[in-house]
Amino acid sequence: MAIGIISAMPEEVQSLIDVLQHVSVSEKGMRSYYKGTINSKEVVIAFSRWGKVASAITATQMINDFNLEEIIFTGVSGSLEGSLNVGDIVLGTEMYQHDMDTTPLFKKFEIPLLGKSFFETKNNEKLENAAASFASHIKDHVPVEKLEQFKIEAVQVKKGAILSGDQFISSKSKVAELKKEIPNALCVEMEGASVAQVCFEYDIPFSIIRIISDNANDDAPIDFPEFTKAVACKYAKGILEKYID
């Protein structure tokens, strides 16, 4: 059985493909699925594209075409928690679709017919240990000048709820609204909870790693393409290599 790895950033996908051995590629639905081995473990890697529908398509195709034991999602996200800084790592525990609202038919956030407002992730101590090991040796993976450029010092690893929605969150008022509704939410992005729903319906264990790239408000502009290329892709590669080893 293989580990499925899906990323929202093509740079992260490429960093993993670069260390993939015995590679074969399948092309379906405008996506490429790279099958091979990392540290002798069979993996399948794909770029999810952006948004809930695109990521759900990718996960569904991967599950149906490959014999998977689990799916791990990686990517960047905006912080909803004041104690989180750029470069910190969030491991999702509950995945909410923050733009799901079918009231008064169902409670806000509840997924119709499933009776769930969020999807639990795999309780993955091994992944947590891999992230902690990476964080404590960050200078072995990311050049010091890049850490300084993005003011990354002691990297934190935190666990908590992650919110997904087809919206780019960039205002303090929206951050405050989300935190009021889901107080344990740590970060917000656009794909994870939809993949979590697919994995729930197919009974596939799901885990997610998110790297904080900004504070999800207009006070935190960074060179996003440079952060993704120089920093985030190093996180994905480093953490997953440790996990698979």
Number of Cβ within 10 Å of residue 18's Cβ equals 9
Does residue 219 surpass a pLDDT of 70?
no
Q: Is 219 a catalytic residue?
A: no
Q: DSSP readout, 69-135?
A: EEEEEEEEEEE-STT--TT-EEEEEEEEETT---TTTS-TTPBTTTTBSSEEPP--HHHHHHHHHHH
**Cβ–Cβ < 8 Å for 59, 72:** no
pLDDT at residue 80 above 70? Answer: yes
**pLDDT the model gives residue 217:** 62
- 190: nearest Cα among 91, 45, 49: 49
Q: How confident is the model at residue 170 (pLDDT cuts 50, 70, 90)?
A: confident
Give per-residue pLDDT as tens, 101-115.
999 999 999 999 999
Tokens standing for 33?
């699925």
Q: 72, 5 in Cβ contact below 8 A?
A: yes
Distance CA 169, CA 151 (A): 22
Distance CA 153, CA 219 (A): 20
Q: Which of 69, 125, 214, 218 is catalytic?
A: 214
* pLDDT class of 245 with cuts at 50, 70, 90: confident
Question: Residue 239: exposed, middle, or buried by beta-carbon count in 10 A (0-12, 13-18, 19+)?
Answer: buried
End-to-end Cα spacing for the chain: 16
Q: What is the dihedral of CA 25, 27, 32, 38, to 10 degrees?
A: -20
- Note the pLDDT of residue 171: 86
Which of 12, 81, 88, 110 is labelled catalytic? 12
pLDDT above 90: residue 216: no
Show the tokens assigned to 122: 């795999």
pLDDT at res. 76: 95
* Arithmetic mean of pLDDT over the chain: 95
- Which stretch of 80-84, 139-143, 214-218 has the lowest confidence by average pLDDT? 214-218
The answer to whether residue 2 scores a pLDDT higher than 70 is: yes
Q: With 90 as the cut, is the pLDDT of residue 31 above it?
A: yes
The dihedrals phi and psi of 159, each to the nearest 5 degrees, come to -115, 140
The two structure tokens encoding residue 239: 């953490």
Query: Does 214 participate in catalysis according to the annotation?
Result: yes
Average pLDDT over residues 68-92: 96
- Fold assignment, 2-244: Rossmann fold (3.40.50)
Tokens read off for 241: 């290599």
Give mean pLDDT, residues 87-91.
Answer: 97
In the three-class reduction of DSSP (H, G, I as helix; E, B as strand; rest coil), residue 155 is classed as coil
Tens of pLDDT, residues 111-136: 999 999 999 999 889 999 999 999 99
Q: Is the peptide bond before 205 cis (omega within 30 degrees of 0)?
A: no
Is residue 218 scored above 60 in pLDDT?
no
Rg over alpha carbons for the chain, rounded to the nearest Å, is 17
% residues pLDDT > 90 (the chain): 91
pLDDT at 70 over 80: yes
pLDDT value, residue 126: 95
